[in-house]
C-alpha cells in the first residue's frame, strides 16, 4: 500500500511486514525517514535531528540556519557538489564543465501495477504491485530525476529504478547514476557481501562498518565471480533467525558498485548501481537514461526470513512464465565427460545410457561448431561441424527424439577467437583500444556487443542453428572478463557508454531469442557463476551456479548463493569422482543430495558407469521428480553454515503449507568415538505430526526443538535425505 500524506508530504510504502518512508521537507529536499518493521504511517521525520555541525555547508534556501545541511540529513537520492560529501547517487557534468547535482521534490504519481523498464530486466506482474513515481528536479541543470518504487506487498519486496531526463536545450553528461540509495538512520551496522573467484563463487564476508566507505563491485564487464550485486546491511548481532537486516540486489549483469558509508552521526548510506568507473552517458536535449532496477527486502527476523522473501518474489515475479512453476527438466550435459573430444556416436552413447534413467534433456556443450576442437579456435563461427555431427543437428535430434529425450545446446555468442572465420573477416568487431593489442582471456576476445551489426550477424547465425532442429534449451555461456573497452561505433566523448551498451546488447539479444523461440528455456552461465544476478535471471530462469561440481565445495557455493537467489535458479549437477577441480571423492548418493538442492542434472560419461551406479541414479532421478516441487516452490531454511566447519551441513525445503518438507544433510569427515547428535529443524508446524521417509513419525514441535536423531556416519561425506509428510 502506498500512502501520500499531503500535509506532511510523506510517502509511506507498506508491505505485509515492512514500512518504508520518505518525506519532502520544508526546502523540498527528499529525505529518507524510515525502513523497517511495519509501523503506522505517521510522519517519522521526528527521527531526523538538526544541529550545527561544523564544516557541514548550508544550502541557499536555509539562509543562515546552520543546523540544516545536506551533509547530515538522510537523503532519499543523494547528490554531490553542493553540500553532501558522502556517497553520491548522481553526478552531472554540465556544458560549463562543472560537476554537481542538486535535487528538489516537484511532484509524484501513484499507479496501480508495476512499472516496466524499456530494454532492461525488471520484476514483473500485475495487480499485486503498486508503483510510486517521485519527481525531482535540478533547476540549474534543467534535469529531472524520476524515482520509481514498485511495492510488492505480499512478498515484502520494494523495487527501485531511476530515470533521468534532460529538459534543457544543451547536452548534459551523467557521470554516475545509481539505482538505489538507502540512508538508514542507524549506526554500528554490519555489511555482508558475497565474494569469490571462478569455482569459488559467493562466499559471504561480514564486516563491521567503520568510518569511511566500504564497497564491493565489478569492473570486469560482468557482475563477476569476484563480487555479487547483492549485499546486506544488518545489526551487529543479527543472525539467521533474529535481528534487523536489509538486503539489496541489483538486477544488472555488468559493472556495478555497492558502497556503504557510515557518517559520523550514525547514518549508514548504501548506494548501489552501475559502477562509476568509465561510465558516462551523454543526454542530448529531451533524451533520458534509465538506471537498472534494484530491489530491497527488510527482515526483522534475520537472514533466513530475508532470503525467503527474496526467493518468493524472484520465483513469482522475476522468473518468466512458465518456468516459475513448471518443473525443470532433468538433464545430462556432456562437458565434463568429453570436453571438446566428441562426435555424434559418443554423444549418443551417453544419451542411450541416460534415457533409461529417466533423464529428460540432453545438452550438447562446447565443441559442436566451426573449428572448435580446443578453446583456442572457433568462437564466432556458429555453424555445425558436420565432421563431428554428420547430418547436423537434425540427425542428432532424430536419434534423441527416438530415445524420448529433448535437446539442448551450448552457445557463447559474445565471444570470438582470433582463429575463426569471423575474426578473419571482421577483426574490428573484437573489443580493442586503438594502438593497443587486446588482452586475451581463455585465449579469446570479446565482441563489441554494443554494436547492432555485430549482434545482428551473430544472432542470425545462431537463429539458423536453433531453427534447424527442435532445440528446447540453450546454455548461454560467457567465458572472460572484458578488457580493452572501446567501440569503433561511438565518438570519443561517448566511450564511457560502451560497458553499459554492451550489457544492453546482451539483454536485447536475449529478448530477441525469447520472442523468436517462445518457450525456449535458456540457462545462464558465465564460466559457471560469473553473472549470477537478477538481470540474467529475468531471461534465464536458471544459472549454472559454478564450474566447480565438487559436492563439498558446492555446499558453500549454494549456501552463499541462497542468501538472495532461490534454489530453483541454481544449476547443479552430479559429476564424476575424483572431482576434476579438487580430486576429492564423495559418495554418489551425496553428490545427488547436493545437486537435488538446485536444478538437478548429471555431467559425466554415463556410458562408463556400473549397473550399481545406474541403479542409484535411476532412484535419484525418480526422487527428484517426486520432490522437485519442494525445491522449486518450498521455503528454504539454512540449518547450518558450511563455513563454520561443523560436523555437517544441513538445509530444508518446506512446502508453503508446512505439510511436507525435504531435509538434506551432508556430513564432513568421519571420526572415531563420534557423539550422537540431533538435527533441529525449522519451518515445520509445531502442531502437526510428520512421518519421516515413510517410517517413524515425530511431532513437529519435537523436530523443531528436540531434533531428529542423526546416525553416526561411517566414512567421509555421507549424507541423509529426509522426506517429511504431515499425517
Ligand atoms: C564454461 C562453462 C562450462 C563449459 C565450458 C565450455 O567454463 O562454465 O560449463 O560449458 O565453458 O567451454
456-485 pLDDT, tens digit per residue, is: 999 999 999 999 999 999 999 999 999 999
Give the pLDDT confidence score for residue 280 in this predicted structure.
Answer: 98
Contact 486, 498 (CB under 8 A): yes
39-53 pLDDT, tens digit per residue, is: 998 999 999 999 999
Alpha helix stretches (DSSP H) within 568-718: 588-595, 611-633, 700-705
Mean pLDDT of 373-387: 98
Mean pLDDT of 702-725: 98
Instruction: Please tell me if the CB atom of residue 335 comes closer than 6 angstroms to any atom of ligand 1.
Output: yes
Separation of CA 324 and ligand 1 centre (Å): 25
Give the pLDDT confidence score for residue 129 in this predicted structure.
Answer: 98
Instruction: Please tell me if the CB atom of residue 476 comes closer than 6 angstroms to any atom of ligand 1.
Output: no
For the chain, the average pLDDT equals 97
215-235 pLDDT, tens digit per residue, is: 999 999 999 999 999 999 999
Percentage, residues of the chain above pLDDT 90? 99
689-712 pLDDT, tens digit per residue, is: 999 999 999 999 999 999 999 999
128-171 pLDDT, tens digit per residue, is: 999 999 999 999 999 999 999 999 999 999 999 999 999 999 99
CATH architecture entry for 642-726: Sandwich (2.60)
77-90 pLDDT, tens digit per residue, is: 999 999 999 999 99
Give the mutation target among 198, 477, 542, 599 for probing the ligand 1 site: most ligand atoms within 8 A of CB: 477
406-423 pLDDT, tens digit per residue, is: 999 999 999 999 999 999
Separation of CA 477 and ligand 1 centre (Å): 7
Which residues make Cβ contacts (< 8 Å) with residue 604, sequence separation at least 6?
336, 337, 574, 575, 576
Radius of gyration of the chain (CA): 26
Give the pLDDT confidence score for residue 51 in this predicted structure.
Answer: 96
Cis peptide before 578 (omega within 30 of 0): yes
Residues 575, 581, 587, 589, CA torsion sign: negative
Compute CA distances 420 → 66, 465, 479, whole Å. 66, 18, 17
Give the pLDDT confidence score for residue 374 in this predicted structure.
Answer: 97
Separation of CA 120 and ligand 1 centre (Å): 26
Q: Which CATH number fits domain 331-633: 3.20.20.150, 3.30.70.260, 3.40.50.10860, 3.20.20.70?
A: 3.20.20.70
Name the DSSP letter for residue 47.
G
Classified as helix, coil or strand, 299 is: strand
Atom of ligand 1 nearest to the CA of 526: 8
Q: Which three cell numbers stand for residue 89?
A: 547517487
Give the pLDDT confidence score for residue 507 in this predicted structure.
Answer: 98
Contact 174, 283 (CB under 8 A): yes
Beta bridge partners of 288: 165
Q: Is there a catalytic annotation at residue 533?
A: yes
Give the pLDDT confidence score for residue 195 in this predicted structure.
Answer: 98
Instruction: Please tell me if the CB atom of residue 547 comes closer than 6 angstroms to any atom of ligand 1.
Output: yes
Residues 60, 63, 66, 72, CA torsion sign: negative
Q: Which of 25, 91, 301, 533 is catalytic?
A: 533
Give the pLDDT confidence score for residue 316 in this predicted structure.
Answer: 96
Give the pLDDT confidence score for residue 77 in this predicted structure.
Answer: 98
Instruction: Please tell me if the CB atom of residue 247 comes closer than 6 angstroms to any atom of ligand 1.
Output: no
Burial-class residue 584 by CB neighbours within 10 Å (0-12, 13-18, 19+): middle
Contact 508, 557 (CB under 8 A): no
CA-proximal residue: ligand 1, atom 2 (nearest): 527
Name the DSSP letter for residue 101.
B
Give the mutation target among 479, 480, 540, 575 for probing the ligand 1 site: most ligand atoms within 8 A of CB: 479
Give the mutation target among 365, 411, 532 for probing the ligand 1 site: most ligand atoms within 8 A of CB: 365
H helix or E strand, kind and range, residue 513:
helix 498-516
Q: Look at residues 317, 316, 348, 307 and name the one whose alpha carbon lies nearest to residue 563.
A: 307
Give the pLDDT confidence score for residue 526 in this predicted structure.
Answer: 97
Compute CA distances 610 → 336, 359, 631, whole Å. 18, 17, 29
Compute CA distances 43 → 7, 32, 110, 138, whole Å. 10, 11, 19, 26
Contact 558, 542 (CB under 8 A): no
Cα 24 from chain centroid (whole Å): 33
Q: Is there a catalytic annotation at residue 613?
A: yes
Half-sphere exposure of 61 (CA within 13 A, CB side): 13
pTM of the model: 0.98
Q: Look at residues 4, 23, 26, 6 and name the one whose alpha carbon lies nearest to residue 14.
A: 4
Contact 418, 428 (CB under 8 A): no
Classified as helix, coil or strand, 523 is: strand
Give the pLDDT confidence score for residue 411 in this predicted structure.
Answer: 98
Q: Which three cell numbers stand for residue 108?
A: 509524484
Burial-class residue 520 by CB neighbours within 10 Å (0-12, 13-18, 19+): middle
Q: Look at residues 145, 175, 181, 176 and name the one whose alpha carbon lies nearest to residue 162.
A: 145
Domain spans of the chain, in order of start = 10-49+69-317, 331-633, 642-726
Q: Which CATH number fits domain 10-49+69-317: 2.60.40.10, 2.160.10.10, 2.70.98.60, 3.40.30.160?
A: 2.70.98.60
Give the pLDDT band (50/70/90) at residue 558: very high
Classified as helix, coil or strand, 538 is: helix
Mean pLDDT of 608-626: 98
> What is the C-alpha end-to-end distance of the chain, expressed in Å?
38
Q: Look at residues 616, 599, 608 and name the one whose alpha carbon lies nearest to residue 337.
A: 608
Give the pLDDT band (50/70/90) at residue 373: very high
Q: Look at residues 295, 290, 291 and name the one whose alpha carbon lies nearest to residue 317.
A: 295
Q: Look at residues 49, 16, 24, 48 and name the one whose alpha carbon lies nearest to residue 34.
A: 48
Which residues make Cβ contacts (< 8 Å) with residue 292, sequence separation at least 6?
117, 120, 121, 161, 179, 250, 251, 252, 273, 274, 535
Euclidean distance between CA atoms 446 and 501, whole angstroms: 14
Mean pLDDT of 253-257: 98
H helix or E strand, kind and range, residue 279:
none
Give the pLDDT confidence score for residue 610 in this predicted structure.
Answer: 97
Amino acid at each position: 500500500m502506498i500512502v501520500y500524506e499531503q500535509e506532511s508530504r510523506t510517502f509511506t510504502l507498506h508491505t505485509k511486514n515492512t514500512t518504508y518512508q520518505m518525506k519532502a521537507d520544508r526546502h523540498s529536499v527528499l529525505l529518507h525517514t524510515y525502513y523497517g518493521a511495519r509501523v503506522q504511517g505517521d510522519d517519522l521525520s521526528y527521527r531526523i535531528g538538526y544541529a550545527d555541525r561544523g564544516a557541514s555547508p548550508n544550502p541557499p534556501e536555509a539562509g543562515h540556519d546552520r543546523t540544516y545541511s545536506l551533509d547530515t540529513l538522510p537523503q532519499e537520492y543523494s547528490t554531490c557538489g553542493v553540500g553532501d560529501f558522502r556517497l553520491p547517487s548522481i553526478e552531472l557534468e554540465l556544458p560549463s564543465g562543472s560537476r554537481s547535482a542538486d535535487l528538489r521534490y516537484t511532484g509524484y504519481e501513484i499507479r496501480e501495477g508495476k512499472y516496466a523498464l524499456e530494454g532492461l530486466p525488471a520484476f514483473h506482474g500485475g495487480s499485486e504491485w503498486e508503483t510510486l513515481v517521485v519527481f525531482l528536479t535540478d533547476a540549474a541543470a534543467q534535469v529531472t530525476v524520476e524515482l520509481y518504487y514498485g511495492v510488492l506487498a505480499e512478498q515484502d519486496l520494494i523495487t527501485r529504478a531511476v530515470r533521468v531526463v534532460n529538459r534543457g536545450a544543451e547536452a548534459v553528461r551523467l557521470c554516475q547514476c545509481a539505482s538505489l540509495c538507502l540512508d538508514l538512520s542507524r549506526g554500528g551496522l554490519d555489511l555482508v557481501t558475497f565474494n569469490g573467484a571462478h569455482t569459488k563463487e559467493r562466499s559471504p564476508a561480514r564486516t563491521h562498518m567503520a568510518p569511511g566507505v566500504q564497497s564491493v563491485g565489478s569492473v570486469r564487464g560482468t557482475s563477476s565471480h569476484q563480487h555479487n550485486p547483492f549485499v546486506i546491511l544488518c545489526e551487529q548481532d543479527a543472525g539467521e533467525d533474529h535481528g534487523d537486516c536489509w538486503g539489496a540486489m541489483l538486477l544488472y549483469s555488468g559493472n556495478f558498485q555497492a558502497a556503504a558509508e557510515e557518517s559520523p552521526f550514525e547514518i549508514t548510506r548504501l548506494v548501489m548501481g552501475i559502477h562509476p568507473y568509465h561510465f558516462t552517458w551523454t543526454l542530448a536535449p529531451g533524451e533520458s537514461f534509465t538506471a537498472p532496477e534494484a530491489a530491497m527486502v527488510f527482515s526483522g527476523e534475520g537472514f533466513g526470513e530475508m532470503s525467503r522473501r527474496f526467493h518468493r518474489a524472484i520465483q513469482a515475479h522475476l522468473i518468466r512464465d512458465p518456468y516459475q512453476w513448471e518443473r525443470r527438466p532433468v538433464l545430462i550435459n556432456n562437458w565434463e565427460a568429453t570436453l571438446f573430444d566428441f562426435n555424434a556416436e559418443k554423444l549418443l552413447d551417453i544419451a542411450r545410457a541416460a534415457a533409461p534413467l529417466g533423464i529428460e534433456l540432453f545438452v550438447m556443450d562446447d565443441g559442436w561448431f566451426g573449428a572448435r576442437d580446443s578453446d583456442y579456435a572457433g568462437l564466432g563461427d556458429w555453424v555445425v561441424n558436420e565432421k563431428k555431427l554428420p547430418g547436423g543437428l537434425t540427425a542428432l535430434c532424430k536419434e534423441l527424439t527416438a530415445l524420448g529425450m529433448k535437446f539442448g545446446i551450448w552457445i557463447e555468442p559474445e565471444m570470438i577467437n582470433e582463429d575463426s572465420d569471423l575474426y578473419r573477416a571482421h577483426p574490428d568487431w573484437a573489443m580493442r583500444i586503438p594502438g593497443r593489442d587486446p588482452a586475451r582471456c581463455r585465449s579469446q576476445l570479446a565482441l563489441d556487443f554494443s554494436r547492432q551489426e555485430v549482434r545482428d550477424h551473430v544472432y542470425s547465425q545462431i537463429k539458423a542453428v536453433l531453427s534447424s532442429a527442435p532445440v528446447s534449451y540453450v546454455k548461454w555461456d560467457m567465458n572472460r572478463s572484458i578488457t580493452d573497452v572501446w567501440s569503433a561505433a561511438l565518438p570519443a566523448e561517448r566511450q564511457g557508454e560502451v560497458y553499459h551498451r554492451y550489457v544492453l546488447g546482451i539483454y536485447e539479444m536475449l529478448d530477441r531469442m525469447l520472442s523468436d523461440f517462445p518457450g525456449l528455456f535458456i540457462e545462464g552461465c558465465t564460466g559457471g557463476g560469473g553473472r549470477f544476478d537478477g538481470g540474467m535471471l529475468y531471461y534465464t530462469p536458471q544459472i549454472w551456479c559454478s564450474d566447480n561440481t565438487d559436492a563439498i565445495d558446492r555446499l558453500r557455493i549454494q549456501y552463499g548463493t541462497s542468501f538472495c537467489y532461490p534454489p530453483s535458479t541454481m544449476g547443479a549437477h552430479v559429476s564424476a569422482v575424483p572431482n576434476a577441480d579438487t580430486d576429492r571423492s564423495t559418495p554418489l548418493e551425496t553428490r545427488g543430495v547436493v545437486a537435488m538442492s538446485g536444478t538437478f542434472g548429471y555431467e559425466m560419461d554415463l556410458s562408463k558407469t556400473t549397473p550399481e551406479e545406474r541403479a542409484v541414479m535411476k532412484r535419484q532421478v525418480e526422487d527428484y521428480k517426486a520432490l522437485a516441487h519442494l525445491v522449486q516452490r518450498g521455503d528454504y531454511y539454512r540449518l547450518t553454515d558450511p563455513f563454520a566447519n561443523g560436523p555437517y551441513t544441513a538445509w530444508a525445503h518446506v512446502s508453503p503449507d508446512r505439510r511436507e518438507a525435504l531435509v538434506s544433510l551432508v556430513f564432513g569427515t568421519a571420526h572415531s568415538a563420534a557423539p550422537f547428535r540431533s538435527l533441529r529443524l525449522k519451518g515445520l508446524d509445531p502442531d502437526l505430526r510428520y512421518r519421516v521417509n515413510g517410517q517413524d513419525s515425530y511431532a513437529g514441535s519435537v523436530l523443531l526443538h528436540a531434533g531428529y536423531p542423526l546416525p553416526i556416519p561411517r566414512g567421509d561425506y555421507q549424507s541423509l535425505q529426509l522426506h517429511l509428510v504431515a499425517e
